[in-house]
Amino acid sequence: MEELVKEFKERMKIFHDSENAEIERSLLASRASIKRMIGSDDITIPEIKELVIERSRYAYNDSLEFFEENFQSNIIGVMLEVAIENEDDVQTKEDNGR
């Protein structure tokens, strides 16, 4: 989580540590929200990490109500990628079980 906080602060040009606890809470909430939306919170996937950081940015700027509308195409695109990946994983497991 420290690395994600660092990336968020770099994105937002925040150079002090006094908000770290609040930033971490926001990132955790954003990660849970993104998982609910797309079915994964794997921040090793760059697009998911970007969505988590961007949702937190909207929350930080008190504009969270605009996030889903403004990132709808990104959310749908990543959701489809995750669904296809999960389907491929299920198919591979079924093929290996035969």
Q: How high is the pLDDT of residue 61?
A: 97
For residues 36 and 58, is the Cβ–Cβ distance under 8 A? no
> Once rounded to an integer, what is the mean pLDDT over residues 62-88?
94
Percent of the chain with pLDDT over 70: 90
Which distant-in-sequence residues (6+ apart) come within 8 Å of 5 by Cβ?
20, 23, 24, 27
Q: What pLDDT score was predicted for residue 8?
A: 98
Q: What is the pLDDT of residues 27-63, one digit of tens each?
A: 999 999 999 999 999 999 999 999 999 999 999 999 9
How far is the C-alpha of 42 from the C-alpha of 81, rounded, in Å? 12
pLDDT at 7 over 90: yes
Give mean pLDDT, residues 77-83.
94
Domain-wise residue ranges, the chain:
2-97
